[in-house]
Amino acid sequence: METPTRRDSIHGSIARRAGPHADARAVAQASLQLWLHMAAQLEPVIGARGVDALFGRALHLTGKAYPWLTGPGPGGGSALSLDLVRQRLEEQAAGHATGAACALLTAFTELLATLIGDSLTNRLLAPAWEPPAADTQQDLAP
């Protein structure tokens, strides 16, 4: 079951990273930054292969609602790189890209929570959902 506060955290983080009037490119870049931060938080706990496996499954599940996100990669292969996911997000309208990115990262966190529990998932990923240090300093500027 999806946790609304987790999805809200993901959406808020993407929105903060992308900026107030973000286009699809900014949304894609913000999503990639968030993903890399989340992966860095999780790799010491579940390993790079665990992160990759959960991401692949989340991508597969998200593809049901966003088939353009999961179509075959170059050469017809089924594996998609993060760069290709970013490119596909950039090709969409900003709102559609945001919806797909949030759905993908939410699916990932929900899968993770089924493995390690809600509490540990939230504790491990909370730092990734917080504003980046540069944004925090900007927000405090007069």
In angstroms, what is the C-alpha Rg of the chain? 15
Give per-residue pLDDT as tens, 86-109: 999 999 999 999 999 999 999 999
pTM of this structure? 0.83
The fraction of the chain above a pLDDT of 90, given in percent, is 63
Residue 69 and residue 67: Cα distance in Å, rounded? Answer: 5
Residue 46 and residue 129: Cα distance in Å, rounded? Answer: 19
Buried b (16+ CB within 10 A) or exposed e, 80-119: beeeebbebbbebebeebbbbbbbbbbbbbbbbbeeeeee
Per mean pLDDT, which range of 36-40, 70-74, 120-124 is the poorest?
A: 70-74
Give per-residue pLDDT as tens, 39-77: 999 999 999 999 999 999 999 999 999 999 886 655 444
How far apart, in Å, are the Cα atoms of 35 and each of 75, 85, 139, 140, 141?
A: 25, 11, 23, 25, 27
Q: Do residues 93 and 68 lie in contact, with contact meaning Cβ atoms separated by under 8 Å?
A: no
